[in-house]
Structure 1
Amino acid sequence: MVDDISAAAVLRLLPTRPRVLALGEPTHWQDELLRARNDLFTRLIEEAGYRAVGIESDCLRGLIVDDYVTTGEGDLDDVMARGFSHGFGAGAGNRALVAWMREFNADRPAHDRVRFAGLDGAQEISYGESPRRVLLDLHAYLAGLLDPTLLPCTAAHIETLAGEDDRWTDEAAVADPTRSFGRSPQARELRLIADDLTALLSAFTPQLTRGLDRARLYARAATALLRYHHWMADPTPARMTRLLGVRASIIADNILALAARVPTLVHTHNLHLHREPSTMKMGGMELEWWSSGAIVRAHLGPEYRFVAGALGTIPGHGVGEPPADTIEGQLYALPGDRFVVDPRSVKAERARPQDWFGYFPLDPARLAGVDGIVWVRDCSST
């Protein structure tokens, strides 16, 4: 079945409207893919009642965007510059989505506004930010609402333990665990402090009615960052698998936190969203870990659904017309530049060769775990 990109076309592929509907993309920074996402997401918000959009960007920076789309706080140029990681704020498609969300929310009551969230942690494979700022934000939240004697330490003690931010952000640590600060005595103590602060959120939940969702995000981000830095310092072969797992877990935890409140739309790379174990070759090692989508699926079951993004060409990166016996080749032979297709109608003999390192074709072996495909024929971005 092939249909125009619409909310109805996607929902027809599913038995019911899922709590989490995830749309993947096979590569980043292609505005044609983002425009297709925007067309689909805006219709799902208007017609199917979805009220949160989460994308693969820093969850803490995403708070800036959420404030803008829900209240109008800030200037759009500044929000796009400070509210995204990975350079995603520069994309015209992301800017258009944020502007649309703000317009959609402008005259709506607070309970019916669509929310924005970054899903990623403040870390990447080669990088992790300092936990200082987010620990201080979590500490300040609790200190403002609880008896200060309940807190495990002062804000000044967190500042002293964390020290200068650049001691945490040395990108050379990805190749040399000895360069990481993540297993220092100070980092170990900060992990205990983060655990104690998180426990206070749970123990005093009935009292912490104002801003609790944001405080829980601080707690998730802080503990994930400290866990990430801990494994950056690990000298054993388990190191990279654990780092990939930490990132997958924080994305999954942020999706689940959104879905606990409202029906949620998700947009990340396809590799984060499938239901099977993820695999990657790195530094001569075969790595395997559970993707974010697999983790969310384990919690939500059929309330999680995944629509994969697929594309034909990216001439600027040497990705030409796909071979006819691949998924992309079959879709490229069909008329139309953009459409939704039932993956059960696609029969491919092999995976498309990876002509550019930044583009990941669909794997026929994973097609059974895909609920739909959004196809974009050509991407002109460079």
Structure 2
Amino acid sequence: MRRALPVVAALARLAGCGGVDTTGVTSSAVVPLPEATLDAAANDRVVGIGEATHGNKEFVQVRLQVIKTLVERHGFRAVALEADFGGTAVADDYVTGGQGTAEDAAKALGFDLYRTRDTAGLLRWIHDHNATVPDAEKVHLLGFDMQRYDRNKERLLRHLTDVDPARAASAERSLSGLTDATRTSPPPAGAKDAVAGVISLLKSKREAYVRAGSEQAYAVAVHHAEIIRQGVELQSSGNDYIAKRDAWMAENIGWIAGQAKGKIIVAAHNGHIDKSGAAYSFESMGRRLAATYGDDYFAIGTDFGTSTFITKDSMSGRRQKFTVETDAPLAKLFGGEPMGYVDIAQASADPANRRLLNAKVPMGSVGDEFSALFSKLSKMYTVATVPAKAYDALVYVPHAGPVTPL
């Protein structure tokens, strides 16, 4: 049986390619990512940059390069991360005001996948950039995930203490059962009512709280409360967990768009950025963003040939290295470029390229959990995707390596 596994994997890869004909495909449209001007995305309201796998240093580098280009060349001032809203507020304090260190900011984002020197380096670049520009031109960080409580509660209660100290203590007591440590268990009895009560208080006291603080501080406090509400509902959502999370992430990006009042970079896994929602049977975040923003949403997807990444082992729960390899038809679009960028509309001017980009091809896809067993079957780490429907541009990394944990 062990001898048969490589054969099974090879057959699966061939099946995943779907017999895609790459004859005539040319790499004439590829440019090194640092040289890509991203002019096609420059005027769009939202630009998404995906990563095919969490836990790869190259995809953090891709994310950083896209952010640098959009910030320096095109005036983007908001970066929205697939990270805890409250934790990202802590990271924003670092990049905009220098509070703490890049490493502390990376840890504050919430997920273990961000606790890396690579993410700290990305945050350090934003911090260093902000140190050279006026306040009005600083890049802000915002999170659109809702899977943690502690930092959201901390920020919410800080606001209540400032504007209504008499009610802050009762709000703290009512929310005391909601913690990061217990977030994977069913929420305590009465949690939904407790959060609803806090939101009701905030809305009923809007005018007074705005006078005591500011419109911006009030809006952010209400959103912290809404994030907590989403977290409570997510905890008890059962099989709908993933679908509800994507729906709320899309809503939260809408809130960020309203607050930022400018162009936004959205950084997340490919599965959340993809306009076609190829990875999911439900309406994913990317499909919702495409429906909301239309041509004002520019999605950049990523792919790899081989990848060694760090993620949680689904069997042991520990974070460890895994290696997978794909038979990626898209590789021919990129030639030997180590981190190549291809604009799909431009590349599609060539008939062979257009045929490939409109075919269903396997693209690498690994989230924040994996198993060594999965590496034996390519369908466990690829998603059949029509690139031209899913993305506006692609970045390909032939050999991706692991992040360096803090």
Interval of TM-score (by shorter of Structure 1 and Structure 2): 0.7 to 0.9
The Cα of 1:159 is off from its aligned counterpart by 4.1
Could you tell me which of 153, 175, 192 is aligned with 1:188? 192
Contact 1:327–1:364, Cα closer than 8 Å, also in 2: no
Could you tell me which of 282, 289, 293 is aligned with 2:282? 289
Superimposed CA distance per residue, residues 279-305 of structure 1 (whole angstroms, 9 cap, x where no aligned partner): 55xxxxxxx322122223333222221
Change (3 A) 1:201 1:240: farther
In structure 1, stretches of 5+ residues that fail to align are 124-128, 149-153, 174-179, 232-238, 281-287
Could you tell me which of 46, 49, 52 is aligned with 1:20? 46
Question: Which deviates more, 37-46 or 346-355?
Answer: 346-355
Change (3 A) 1:314 1:167: closer
Superimposed CA distance per residue, residues 180-221 of structure 1 (whole angstroms, 9 cap, x where no aligned partner): 235x2x223213214304524766686433523432431231
Superimposed CA distance per residue, residues 30-82 of structure 1 (whole angstroms, 9 cap, x where no aligned partner): 0011112212211210001011112222111111110011011123333333x
Change (3 A) 1:79 1:359: farther
Q: CA RMSD for the aligned pairs?
A: 3.2
Could you tell me which of 103, 106, 122 is aligned with 1:80? 106
Q: Secondary structure at the match of 1:289?
A: coil
- Higher relative contact order (Cα pairs below 8 Å, separated by 6+ residues): 2
In structure 2, stretches of 5+ residues that fail to align are 1-28, 309-320, 366-373
Change (3 A) 1:203 1:295: farther
What's the TM-score, normalizing by structure 1? 0.77
Contact 2:95–2:124, Cα closer than 8 Å, also in 1: yes
Question: Which deviates more, 92-101 or 46-55?
Answer: 92-101
2:228 aligned with 1:222: yes
Q: Which residue of 1 aligns with 2:32?
A: 4
Could you tell me which of 102, 105, 109 is aligned with 2:134? 109
Question: Which deviates more, 271-280 or 71-80?
Answer: 271-280
Change (3 A) 1:197 1:289: farther
Could you tell me which of 28, 35, 52 is aligned with 2:61? 35
Contact 1:25–1:33, Cα closer than 8 Å, also in 2: yes
Q: How far apart, in 2, do the equivalents of 1:66 and 1:201 lie?
A: 27
The Cα of 1:23 is off from its aligned counterpart by 0.5
Q: Which residue of 2 aligns with 1:276?
A: 276
Q: Secondary structure at the match of 2:86?
A: coil
Q: Which residue of 2 aligns with 1:95?
A: 120
Q: How far apart, in 2, do the equivalents of 1:349 and 1:136 lie?
A: 46
Q: Which residue of 2 aligns with 1:53?
A: 79
Q: Secondary structure at the match of 2:80?
A: strand
Q: Which residue of 2 aligns with 1:258?
A: 256
Question: Which deviates more, 366-375 or 203-212?
Answer: 203-212
The Cα of 1:91 is off from its aligned counterpart by 2.4
Question: Which deviates more, 308-317 or 91-100?
Answer: 308-317
What's the TM-score, normalizing by structure 2? 0.73
Q: How far apart, in 2, do the equivalents of 1:104 and 1:170 lie?
A: 35
Q: Which residue of 2 aligns with 1:126?
A: none
2:170 aligned with 1:157: yes
The Cα of 1:113 is off from its aligned counterpart by 0.4
The Cα of 1:224 is off from its aligned counterpart by 1.0
Q: Which residue of 2 aligns with 1:379?
A: 400
Q: How far apart, in 2, do the equivalents of 1:381 and 1:359 lie?
A: 19
Q: How far apart, in 1, do the equivalents of 2:387 and 2:343 lie?
A: 14
Change (3 A) 1:133 1:350: closer
Q: Which residue of 2 aligns with 1:44?
A: 70
Q: How far apart, in 2, do the equivalents of 1:216 and 1:350 lie?
A: 43
Q: Which residue of 2 aligns with 1:177?
A: none
Q: Which residue of 1 aligns with 2:22?
A: none
Q: Which residue of 1 aligns with 2:243?
A: 245
Quick one: which amino acid aligns to residue 400 of structure 2? C
Q: Secondary structure at the match of 1:253?
A: helix
Contact 1:3–1:9, Cα closer than 8 Å, also in 2: no
Q: How far apart, in 2, do the equivalents of 1:296 and 1:202 lie?
A: 30
Change (3 A) 1:41 1:159: closer
Quick one: which amino acid aligns to residue 303 of structure 1? D
Superimposed CA distance per residue, residues 167-190 of structure 1 (whole angstroms, 9 cap, x where no aligned partner): 97164x4xxxxxx235x2x22321
Q: How far apart, in 2, do the equivalents of 1:35 and 1:353 lie?
A: 17
